[in-house]
Amino acid sequence: MDVGTLGSALISAGTVALAEIGDKTQLLALLLAARLRKPLAIILGILIATLLNHALAGWLGTLVAHWLTPEVLRWTIAGSFFAIALWSLKPDTLDEESPASTHGALVTTIIAFFLAEIGDKTQVATVLLAAKYSPLWPVVVGTTVGMLLANVPVVLLGSRFADRLPLRAARIGAALLFLGMAVWVGFRGVG
């Protein structure tokens, strides 16, 4: 793996891991862990759902990158990162009255995570990262690793430590990261 490919994978992982902290899918992971009590099946479900969802999102990002002129793409990505920075400051909530499925922890997690990721800030970030970095596979691998970095500890530790997570600080950190990326893309461009 060359330095550019590794770099795009690491940037993708870090971006999504930070954006995921306090996100609704992280709250979903906590809820699934507390209700289903099958951590390995839940982690595998998160992996499968994220790979599918982020591969589709990344593919869309590469299409967008080919349709737009470099200047329009540059300011679209910069503006989108700025919007995600603002979005990161808003805490997500999850309806705790949602019934748990009895069809198994793996299937429940795959479906719930795939659907919860649609339109989520980590999915939008994946689209933007795929538009910025090529090839696509390190972005998808990186964003998937980022999701796992943020969610596996939540699944393993369950609700026992949920009240101790510094979610506000994490949201501010994620917002600053996306703001920095918006400024970077705005001044340096996409390429």
Among the listed ranges 38-42, 46-50, 177-181, which one has the minimum average pLDDT value?
A: 177-181
Amino acid at 5: T
* Segment 43-64, tens digit of pLDDT: 999 999 999 999 998 898 888 7
- Which helix (H) or strand (E) segment holds residue 50: the answer is helix 39-67
pLDDT value at 102 more than 50: no
- CA 95 vs. chain centroid, Å, equals 20
pLDDT value of position 117: 84
Helices (H), 68-166: 70-88, 105-117, 121-132, 136-157
* Segment 132-167, tens digit of pLDDT: 888 989 999 999 999 999 999 989 987 555 456 565
Cis amide linkage into residue 70, ω under 30° from 0: no
What is the mean pLDDT of the segment spanning 80-86? 72
Cα(72)–Cα(46) distance, rounded to whole angstroms?
Answer: 34
